[in-house]
Amino acid sequence: NAGVTQTPKFQVLKTGQSMTLQCAQDMNHEYMSWYRQDPGMGLRLIHYSVGAGITDQGEVPNGYNVSRSTTEDFPLRLLSAAPSQTSVYFCASSNRDWGTEAFFGQGTRLTVV
């Protein structure tokens, strides 16, 4: 029962570096999404996907790219890391039906120095 797997769990980047946060789910969910969690702000949607080959922007997409080449994987790319991107990142997936439970990965704590 892997569920949603996120890697890495922790990462420190220097300003300007790029990296990819990995997210994989084994539940054949169509919907996948990325959130960032900052103190006092709750979780905010970065990008989401409703199926392979389809992605869209969320509330705070700037500085991030995504792709969805398979149902299972939804990587999040930081193009040129900035200190403002220091946050905890969560990937989530859910099935096609409206209003169903979302399953979360364990989170990635990213620090940009």
Partner 1 sequence: EDKVVQSPLSLVVHEGDTVTLNCSYEVTNFRSLLWYKQEKKAPTFLFMLTSSGIEKKSGRLSSILDKKELSSILNITATQTGDSAIYLCVHTGTASKLTFGTGTRLQVTL
- Give the footprint of partner 1 on this chain (CB under 8 A): 4, 31, 33, 35, 40-45, 48, 50, 56, 58, 90, 92, 94, 98-107
Task: Name the minimum Å distance from CB 48 to partner 1.
Answer: 6
Can you read off the two tokens belonging to residue 101?
A: 């439970």
Task: Name the minimum Å distance from CB 72 to partner 1.
Answer: 17
**15: helix, coil or strand?**
coil
- Residue owning tokens 């392979």: 52
CA distance 82 to 18: 10
For partner 1, give the closer residue by CB, 57 or 84: 57
Beta strands in the chain (DSSP E): 4-7, 10-13, 19-25, 31-38, 42-51, 54-57, 64-66, 76-78, 87-94, 103-104, 108-112
For partner 1, give the closer residue by CB, 14 or 98: 98
Task: Name the minimum Å distance from CB 14 to partner 1.
Answer: 26
For partner 1, give the closer residue by CB, 17 or 37: 37
